[in-house]
Amino acid sequence: MYSEQKYDSTLKFWMENDYFDELSRRELAEITDLKELEDRFYTTLEFGTGGIRGVLGAGTNRLNRYVIRKVTQGLADTILEHGPEACQRGVVIAYDSRYFSEDFALEAALVLAVNQIKVYLFEGLRPTPELSFAVRYLQTIAGVNITASHNPKEYNGYKVYWEDGGQLPPAPAKQIITKMAEREDWRIVPADRIKALEEGMVQMVGDQVDAAYQAEILHSLLNTELTQTYGTKLNIVCTPLHGTGGIPVQSILNKMGFTAFRMVAEQEQPDPEFPTVKSPNPEDPESFELALTLAKKTQADLVLATDPDADRLGAYALDRNGQYCRFTGNQIGVILAYYILDQRRRNHRLPDNGVIVKTIASTDLAEAVAADFGVKTVNVLVGFKYIGEKIKEMDVQGWGTFLFGFEESHGYLAGTYARDKDAVQASALLAEAALYYKQIENKTLPDILAELFARYGTFLDEQVAFALSGKEGRERIAAVMDRLRMAKPLSVAGLSVRFIDDYQQNVRWDALENKTEETNLPRENALRFSFEGGGYVMARPSGTEPKIRFYFCIKGSTRAEADATLARVKAEVFTLINDLMV
């Protein structure tokens, strides 16, 4: 029977203790599926690459106010160990448009306040990149954002940032995890809201931070005179997908001189239900359905979509044949990298020690572009926090000038005012680039991508994700990674494998010279098989979702050749593991 299960005592505690609210207890009492109860209590949500993210609901393996309190107490205990000055510097907290985001933000604020840690709480919805900026601007010891980024409506999350504005580095992350594990008692009582506000332990912030954040974005642009003069000539359609991006993107585009833009009315207002899309993810072409309908009616040059916390940007652009071309995250990153480097060189602002930073799951085309400008490319693990860490390393150690960072999952940052990806800034930069190429060179953004392919090779990039939920799913994902490690292929679909990088073992094997060396990256459960001449296949379990992702980067002399090769590579890889995925 169920009572014999090891998670029974925790469930019983949640069901019977008055600390947990009646709605939570009732929710658990109504569950009759024993597997569902096991999944809710067999583990506790853990930190991944972006903090904690999970399905909303009662239980230790769900996101709710009690998990928020426990995680925040772990953060508070960590800050307390840094001394009185850290407590006085405090924590800034933001939140997005999801269910319970505002409630969770307040819970976190009041737990910190009861620990005598100063809190700056945003008065309304704000984008993730503004939270990253606010940590630096307010000089806090940490920041918290309540968001699940682009995940479905059933999810929410808790992202922690450290004093440089980057996502939580390993040392304090381990401290928080340790503190959470040490505290067995879930009964954490937050401060009284009115008292915390009256005593100044919780201070509301908003307009001043907004103005400073937008000023930094405007300062990062490259052709402000052009946009002020000709901004009316670029027709733009924008959608925030019911999230936080609507107001800041509109504000920036207006200040730049782009007045010929329209918001998708059905998706303009924040809504946790995300009623017009299956998933509020600008990586998904289906999320652009309403935006493209409006774009076709208005003959828009550029279509922009930001995810709910406005850190990811997706885009379409009109080509010469009157068709809308979808850009992958890699393609947007390469176009922005090329535009930034080219404009800097034209304006004699390209430093000799310039650096772009990208993840190991991002396209090899970017490295070819950067090399052509004499700019170094640094590769980091998947997760924008590693790009933020590299920016900090350059600043502290005094090497390199950071110019641009991106990841294939539609995340971009130019400059160091923040340490996380910024879809508000990326929207501004891509609109500026589209206007420049239209007004000065009589080209579309698809024209520019075609030119880059012609110059450096046609690179096709694709990601395939498999959702394998629950305990069984986690075991199957582990089995897939084990099989790929054992296979160690010397070729895939006729492409010779030059390097095999096993980031969990911190080992790179050179197949041509039959020698190994360290990857010089932190350990992570990921495998990358790099092909001779460019391109790769990579497998990596997600750190925040019950998924395993496969990344493909294929180089060809033509689009047709690259398409055919990509199809063969995918077929061979998935045949190897097919029995574990069904």
Active site residues: 149
Q: Give the whole-angstrom CA distance, residue 325 versus residue 334.
A: 15
Query: In this structure, are residues 405 and 397 in contact, taking their beta carbons and an 8 Å threshold?
Result: no
Concatenate the DSSP letters of all residues of 226-260 into one string.
HHHHHGGGS-EEEE-TTSS-HHHHHHHHHHHT--S
Amino acid symbol at 284 = D
Strands 119-122, 91-95: pairing is parallel
Q: Can you count the helices (H) and strands (E) in the chain?
A: 20, 23
Whose structure tokens read 């990344």?
Answer: 551
Burial 63-86 (b: 16+ CB within 10 A, else e): bbbbbbbbbbbbbbbbbeeeeeeb
Residue type, 380: V
Work out the burial of residue 376: count CB atoms within 10 Å of its CB; fewer than 13 is exposed, 13-18 middle, 19 or more buried.
Answer: middle
User: Which uninterrupted H or E stretch holds 374?
Assistant: none
Q: Which of 501, 526, 408 is nearest to 462 (CA)?
A: 408
Outline where 257-383 has alpha helix (H): 289-298, 329-346, 365-372
Q: What is the DSSP secondary-structure string of 469-504?
A: -HHHHHHHHHHHHHHHHHH--SEETTEEEEEEEETT
Strand 527-531 and strand 536-541: pairing?
antiparallel
How far, in Å, CA of 318 to CA of 394, rounded?
38
Q: What is the rounded CA–CA span in Å between residue 456 and residue 407?
A: 20
| DSSP classification of residue 33 | -
Sign of CA dihedral 278, 282, 286, 292: positive
